Structure 1
């Protein structure tokens, strides 16, 4: 009898630890890697406290292209984190796989700008100066340098290179093609 009780107890522990690793209800999302970076598709994205429209809106993002990190998935909902650490749930249809990055958001108010260079080299020529918090479209990253494009409304787009560690929206040493 004692062996039977022990087997049930061990089975219970195994099941509990498995459920703790899955989203509520045990329903998994896309099977894509988590965490991963994506961007906001529109200028208005409701960040909810839970994975349904019944949950309260905790925040409204108003910046299309803003990079966010998916940290969990549940059915059609994604739990995301922004560069300031704010977390919540959004519908997957409001997210885009387009890779963007924020230029040194942690340096807002601390430095005026960083140089966007014409080649992936600290000795490269300056193409533009970027303020912290600017959204950049990430074209490629080799693990050290990223080629980015800044979309300007009334002028030509600016294309150049910045060190990967100066962007929020790409992991250290990550390669983006």
Structure 2
């Protein structure tokens, strides 16, 4: 059985690791402007493509080098992206497996749809622990608990 000191050290380490994956308002965030944007291993078009990113995909900016941004996504993956293919239009990405969208900011409101892990949602506003997003159908807005999404 692990000692309490061991458990506390583990919990502290886990909290610090999670903190690096949770954006704060002081951090610079961007979203992908165009569909199918390359995230690369280094700054420049002559470096390996690591991933293709969908339009709206939110990213945390870690470093700027010329016209390139070193970024990190919600899973902690890092790479480089051209600044010209980013925007300051806020988006969130779904972290939960299957998440309810609601008619209002709270669990007492009706479920109006569901989204899945990795779905990108356009952010329209925040209220407490809830985020209002553009409904994936394109018709109106819906609400999602902020702890189930990452972005701004």
Q: Same fold (TM over 0.5)?
A: yes
Correspondence for 2:3? none
Q: 1:59 and 1:160, CA in 2 relative to 1: closer, same or farther beyond 3 A?
A: same
In the alignment, is residue 45 of structure 1 matched against residue 27 of structure 2? Answer: no
CA distance in 2, matches of 1:62, 1:138: 18
Structure label with greater radius of gyration: 1
Output one character per residue of 1:27-68: Cα deviation in whole Å (capped at 9) or x when no partner: xxxxxx8732221112232222222334x1241314111111
How many correspondences in the alignment? 128
SS of the residue 1:85 aligns to: coil
CA distance in 2, matches of 1:131, 1:48: 26
> Structure 2 matches for 1:93-132, cutoff 5 A?
93-104=84-95, 107-108=96-97, 113-132=98-117
Correspondence for 2:134? 149
Give the Å deviation of 1:143. Answer: 4.0
Structure 2: runs of 5+ lacking an equivalent: 1-24
Q: 1:90 and 1:62, CA in 2 relative to 1: closer, same or farther beyond 3 A?
A: closer
8 Å CA contact 2:39, 2:53 repeated in 1: no
Structure 1: runs of 5+ lacking an equivalent: 1-32, 171-177
Give the Å deviation of 1:150. Answer: 2.7
CA distance in 2, matches of 1:34, 1:50: 25
Give the number of the structure with larger relative contact order, counting CA–CA contacts within 8 Å between residues 6 or more apart. Answer: 2
8 Å CA contact 2:32, 2:53 repeated in 1: no
8 Å CA contact 1:135, 1:150 repeated in 2: no
In the alignment, is residue 82 of structure 1 matched against residue 64 of structure 2? Answer: no
Correspondence for 2:16? none
Provide the aligned C-alpha RMSD in A. Answer: 2.1
SS of the residue 1:46 aligns to: strand
Moved over 3 A (4+): none
8 Å CA contact 1:34, 1:71 repeated in 2: no
Q: 1:74 and 1:34, CA in 2 relative to 1: closer, same or farther beyond 3 A?
A: farther
Q: 1:35 and 1:73, CA in 2 relative to 1: closer, same or farther beyond 3 A?
A: farther
